[in-house]
Amino acid sequence: MSVPTSQYISNVWKDGIFANKVVFCTGGAGTICSGQVRALVHLGANACIIGRNVEKTERAAKDIATVRAGAKVIGIGAVDVRKYDSLKDAADRCVKELGAIDFVIAGAAGNFLASIEQLSVNAFKSVMDIDVLGSYNTLKATLPHLVASGTKHRIDSDSLEPSPIGTGGRIIFVSATLHYRGTPFQAHVGVAKAGIDALSNSIAIEYGPRGVTSNIIAPGPIAQTEGLERLLPSDTKADYINSQPLGRIGHVRDIADATVYLFSDSGSYVTGQTLVVDGANWRTSSGSGTGNLKYPDFLLSGKRNKSREF
């Protein structure tokens, strides 16, 4: 089933700006990441999306490829981002079949609701391994190709016009705002995302001289994502939306447009930055609870959250 263009990209972008470019995306079958890749493919890129579920990943790749005639989108399933060799093999296949890796989106993540008291050591480690180690493995597996692309598409101090061959050598990490002020039941995720943010900043410093940019997109609450559906019960959804500064929650298109900006010529001098796309949600959120888990009542009750994982 085709997705209407208006659902994943605004009409302000010029067709073909990513022609002959290749994007490599972990978590590429997820709601947000698939929207990011869909927008890039619509604008001329080819893509390789990575996931653990073979059927879901291959199905998503076929669907994304329909947005533009002639688009090439490879779906590689059975890839565990916690295992470097698995990602390295996927990156090598991407380059072999599509010719390069110009853009990387590190979007694989794990999450569940749990207080620190309820959170086991293994559960904490699992999220750190998927989010932090997985992001690092994604970087290491694609870094030689990012450097090659960044060198090829480098803009020097005297260049006033965009490179005739476009942009390249850019990586985006999909993070969150949970650690900006602290969020109950999300200590593990907050720590992991803080680590990802630090990694991105280090890349910007160490690989900027080689033409590579590294940035973070921190989404706020995004409609029709599995996480939001589980975290926001239907009986409180209307009140929650009304409490947002813009009177709405975000859409996948908001994140996709931010991605296009950072990967396009318009983002050529932006690196080492965090682009928060949340409608000012984090500045007003009280952090008083998550879904039906009310703070501090749930913590003090001694109860366990029986439906944790999503």
Residues noted as catalytic = 175, 193
As given in the structure block, the two tokens for residue 133 are 């180690």
As given in the structure block, the two tokens for residue 309 are 């994982």
Tokens 């579920």 belong to: 53
Please tell me the total number of residues recorded for the chain in this structure. Answer: 310
Percent helix / strand / coil, the chain, rounded to 5: 45, 15, 40
- Please state, in angstroms and rounded to a whole number, the distance separating the CA atoms of residues 271 and 176: 18
111 within 8 A of 227, measured Cβ to Cβ:
yes
Q: Is the peptide bond before 296 cis (omega within 30 degrees of 0)?
A: yes
**Position 303, amino acid:** K
As given in the structure block, the two tokens for residue 188 are 């593990």
13 within 8 A of 59, measured Cβ to Cβ:
no
Tokens 């990156």 belong to: 91
Q: Shortest CA distance to 105 belongs to which of 188, 162, 30, 53?
A: 30
